Chain A
Amino acid sequence: MLTLHCPHCGTLAAETELTAGGEAHLKRFGPGSDDDSFEGYLFMRENPKGVHFERWRHSYGCGKWFIAARCTATLEVFGTYPAQSSAPPQHIRDAITARRPGWGWRDLA
């Protein structure tokens, strides 16, 4: 079972207390945007085999959203941080680089 550290309440939360919320750091587009932007935002996904950033909710705990940096090929967790972050903080990126040199995700590296 996956366990993730909730950055809000500090609990090491088991998967059964959490709800997966899909890909993180999506750029949202509203009314008036062009078809390309809507399609990208609503449907297109990175879905990598490797380093991934995704949203989680500590549903049966503090109820707050956070983001996990995780490897989808090994289930290794690199770190978690609050969902208010618009990009992964530097210490998370460093933790990933230490384990996966040369990693890339969207325009992050």
Chain B
Amino acid sequence: MKRYSVLAIAREALRGHLGWDRAWASPAPRAHYDVVIVGAGGHGLATAYYLGKNHGIRNVAIVEKGWLGGGNTGRNTTIIRSNYLQDPSAAIYEKSRSLYETLSQELNYNVMFSPRGVMMLAQTQHEVRGYQRTAHANALQGVATAYIGPQKVKELCPIIHIDGPRYPVLGALWQPRGGTARHDAVAWGYARACSDMGMDIIQQCEVTAVRQSQGRVTGISTTKGDIACDKLGIVVAGHSGELARMAGFRLPVESLALQALVSEPIKPCMDVVVMANTVHGYMSQSDKGEMVIGGGTDGFNNFTQRGSFHHIEETVRALIETFPMLSRLKMLRQWGGIVDMTGDRSPIISPTPLGNCFINCGWGTGGFKAIPGSGWAMADLMARGTPGPLAAAFGLDRFRAGRFIDESVAAGVAH
């Protein structure tokens, strides 16, 4: 792989940009791999990357039914933060956020990580107490956040209307090193690095069966033929239930549509990310100037990657109250992704009833921020066969044991 650098750009500029390599290879599948990962979203690719980088396991294939990064990874609103309430969450999300800080250098690929700051507005007394509690929890966890008052909110984000009639802004939980990154670039950067390590990324290849014998996986059947493997990792987000059914076990997961939309591009007006959980909306401004907006999930099981119009209408209606200037903006595009929701709104990084099969799912509405940390923890689990400290609390067995990692109260909203 040729490295990207200022020198490389200069050299290519002088010879008409004819010397760039393809970022990754598109090989046909081989008959056997040490590890097969199903799903080339951010989490699958990051798992493969850290298998190679941290554990020296490079005979790896990543099998993807569509195109890499075409699932939720390429459909999300890219908010990165780690101000969760529970200790296991703070640990893995903060690991992830800190990996984002240097990811561009690590991958030699510009993922445009922008730690512009994330604020979660407190618009009810309940939220004020909740976020003060989270700020204290974060202090103990070593996650840098602060509870700020309304004046500071207005200073950081002048377009907010803090004296709204229904939901005035009473304060906010502020994480100065939270922010956004370019979603496609995260998938592309990991893919390029995996391909460079000799791993095979096999796109347009749907897994149709999980082959097994005596309680162990022997391989998979795909639309491009059978592939044998020593270990299987299932990292397919909304389709986790389908893969689990193929493998013969059940999951505490439901798949719902989550939508997002962007406005026409306007001049820079907001250089932080704002989440308003009571009214269910969040917003940031992209480098192109579009206001990037998201809200809550739709209510029913859905695999169509489309949502219902009234949900985005509710989101925009709510945001207009807090950001009156939005009312004159035209919305340009709207789309949906299928998110994998668990009962406690926390992910699953876990062994399965099949000895050499592992699953990573349940990131639901908030797994983009977790891509590097989740890949790190999943690679560790797959390499050693038992979960390390980051993954230990996120096992499938927590539902039976009643050890929930309850983030539904803390996070409240999708993001």
Question: A residues bordering B, Cβ < 8 Å?
Answer: 1-2, 15-16, 19-20, 22-23, 35-36, 38-40, 42-49, 52, 54, 70, 72-75
Query: With A1-B308, A1-B309, A39-B400 in contact, is A47–B300 under 8 Å at CB?
Result: no
Decide: A19 and B252 in contact? CB cutoff 8 A: no
Shortest beta-carbon distance from A106 to chain B in Å: 11
Interface assignment of B302: CB less than 8 Å from any CB of chain A: yes
Interface assignment of B250: CB less than 8 Å from any CB of chain A: yes
Taking CB atoms, residues of chain A closer than 8 Å to B255 are 47, 49, 72
- Main SS class of interface, B: mixed
Contact of A48 among B241, B308, B343, B399 (CB under 8 A): B241
Taking CB atoms, residues of chain B closer than 8 Å to A2 are 300, 308
Interface assignment of B301: CB less than 8 Å from any CB of chain A: yes
Taking CB atoms, residues of chain A closer than 8 Å to B309 are 1
Decide: A49 and B308 in contact? CB cutoff 8 A: no
Decide: B399 and A72 in contact? CB cutoff 8 A: no
Shortest beta-carbon distance from B337 to chain A in Å: 14
Taking CB atoms, residues of chain A closer than 8 Å to B335 are none
Question: B residues bordering A, Cβ < 8 Å?
Answer: 239, 241-242, 245, 250-255, 299-304, 308-310, 343, 399-400
Shortest beta-carbon distance from B202 to chain A in Å: 21
Decide: B310 and A47 in contact? CB cutoff 8 A: no
Shortest beta-carbon distance from B10 to chain A in Å: 49
Decide: A52 and B301 in contact? CB cutoff 8 A: yes
Taking CB atoms, residues of chain A closer than 8 Å to B304 are 72-75
Taking CB atoms, residues of chain A closer than 8 Å to B253 are 45, 47
Query: With A15-B308, A16-B310 in contact, is A45–B300 under 8 Å at CB?
Result: no
Q: Which of B242, B252, B300 has the most CB of A within 10 A?
A: B300
Shortest beta-carbon distance from A5 to chain B in Å: 16
Contact of B300 among A36, A42, A44, A54 (CB under 8 A): A54
Taking CB atoms, residues of chain A closer than 8 Å to B250 are 40, 44-45
Cα A47 to Cα B362 with chains together (Å)? 13
Cα A38 to Cα B252 with chains together (Å)? 12
Cα A73 to Cα B242 with chains together (Å)? 12
Shortest beta-carbon distance from B232 to chain A in Å: 20
Decide: A47 and B299 in contact? CB cutoff 8 A: no
Taking CB atoms, residues of chain A closer than 8 Å to B252 are 39, 43-45
Q: Can you report 19 residue pairs joining A to B where beta carbons are below 8 Å apart?
A: A15-B308, A19-B299, A20-B299, A36-B400, A39-B399, A42-B399, A43-B399, A44-B252, A45-B241, A46-B241, A47-B241, A48-B242, A49-B255, A52-B301, A72-B255, A72-B303, A73-B303, A73-B304, A75-B302
